[in-house]
Structure 1
């Protein structure tokens, strides 16, 4: 800035001191666009990574150009005055960050680098980074914490209201890859409570299956199921890694789950569950308890599903009694 200039006209603001700090301060203020023209000043702002977008106004005979340091789409106008939209710098940065999330550079549940570090690594201004992150936030790709910065949220699952879906179905419908690690599979005698809920005699053999369910390699749920062995005999020697239990019951045992009596309660995980779900001990979990039935109304399985509190959402349609 020139130290000899004492003021500007009605449509200009005189900046003194450090150019970068002054322009960044102006960009944080409410309002529309900051326009600059000429050659030297736009070049200086570009060198400081302060130019967010460019607008070119093309006319048949004479043309003008200006540089815009605010939020708007970069566009050019054809000979008939129609706007031709092209991707902005903010859009490009948003896409690059989204691609990095898709490729696992920033894992679900982890904090992103600070805005200043992102701006320096991507060679753009901090305000551009903030606008790109806000765009990703609207898409549900990132979330912000007032005290801790920006995070990649963990994927969430949840059945649509009044619809029974398996974990595998929920994950696939949301574009995620469901996983299942078998932690335990054993045949044992049913307890009195299990026998009562399954409608079988006490001591009847049951298959107990414990698996760690996940999405895109992120652990979501510790899934414990108990099934009468008379129904699930074909599953005893079957590898259920990454398999859907509902689908396996249908294809291997000719049993279709028709409905489920399901309840959800917030609890504190055990040390083992917290370690499996990769959450701090003491973090809340949602525990779902279910009894699943076939079309005849016969109980098929008991389920105890321990979900990460930040990864499960339960929906229900509620009606008033008439």
Structure 2
């Protein structure tokens, strides 16, 4: 890097070279900021700018109250595949885990009724789950499921693949899907659950699914860490 570049970028270069030279593994914890500032002969302010630059690039990440860590390899994510989270994570050599935070039978909110052709206030299942890859929480997921299609779903174990359960227990599968993806700041409960600062960069994905009869089946809202995944689309022909 040119010597006339901003000091924080020079420190960023030195820091990344040090991480690479020491072959720090995925999720390896970096030394404390004070130690790093001394190591690279810079101020804490400049060091934090350098760390922030590497964080924006997805090379390192910060966990509140725990410090800085080397970012794992991104998960390849193909949202159009009818494969549950557990399976596609395991297929890529990672260890998946899911925790159900809440699951309730509630009323369909007006904003969702407009999208899924349900009546506002009608019953709907709402699940909130957080999902891990190699013990790192990457995703907060809200699942809204049509209870008429799968009675008793609240009594099932939802710490595993919801889609596998719908398929195996209720013989349900999505026949039509609408998927949208955009960048979005992580705020509120989602930021707290992911243990990141309010306003951190994230990736938002929503998926609206209908069954083979054209009836609403499930609406999924996903809040991902920005450095967690890369979207993959395979097109035949």
**Pair in the same fold by TM > 0.5:** yes
How much has 1:180 moved relative to structure 2? Answer: 1.1
Matched, 1:111 2:30: yes
Give the Cα–Cα distance (whole angstroms) in 2 for the partners of residues 228 and 244 of structure 1: 17
2:47 matched residue in structure 1: none
SS in 1 for 2:186: coil
The count of aligned residue pairs is 187
Equivalent position SS for 2:71: coil
Deviations 1:32-89 (Å, cap 9, x if unpaired)? xxxxxxxxxxxxxxxxxxxxxxxxxxxxxxxxxxxxxxxxxxxxxxxxxxxxxxxxxx
The structure-2 alpha-carbon separation of the partners of 1:201 and 1:183, relative to structure 1 and needing over 3 Å to count, comes to same
Structure 1 SS opposite 2:103: strand
TM-score, normalised with respect to structure 2: 0.67
Task: Tell me how far 1:274 sits from its aligned partner.
Answer: 2.0
TM-score by length of structure 1 reads 0.50
- What is the aligned counterpart of 2:215 among 294, 298, 301? 298
Q: CA deviation at 1:283?
A: 1.6
Q: Larger relative contact order (C-alpha < 8 A, sep ≥ 6)? A: 2
Q: Alignment RMSD, CA only?
A: 3.3
State the shift of 1:257 in Å: 2.5
Question: Does 2:206 align with 1:289?
Answer: yes
Output the CA distance in 1 between the equivalents of 2:74 and 2:176: 22
- When residues 217 and 144 of structure 1 are mapped into structure 2, their CA distance, relative to the original with a 3 A threshold, is closer
Deviations 1:269-307 (A, max 9, x none): 114322221223322000101102223333210111000
Unaligned runs of 5+ in 1: 1-92, 102-106, 114-142
More strand by share: 2
1:222 aligns with 2:222: no
Larger radius of gyration: 1
Unaligned 5+ runs, structure 2: 1-20, 33-58, 62-67
Q: Distance in 1 between matches of 2:189 and 2:79?
A: 31
Specify the alignment match of 1:165 in structure 2: 83
Whole-angstrom distance in 1 between the partners of 2:102 and 2:28 = 27
The answer to whether 1:256 aligns with 2:173 is: yes
1:313 to 224, 227, 230: 230
Q: Secondary structure at the match of 1:284?
A: strand
Q: Verify the 8 A CA contact 1:220 1:308 in the aligned structure 2.
A: yes
For 2:81 and 2:157, locate their aligned partners in 1 and report how far apart those are by CA, in whole Å: 28
Q: Does 1:237 find its partner at 2:151?
A: no
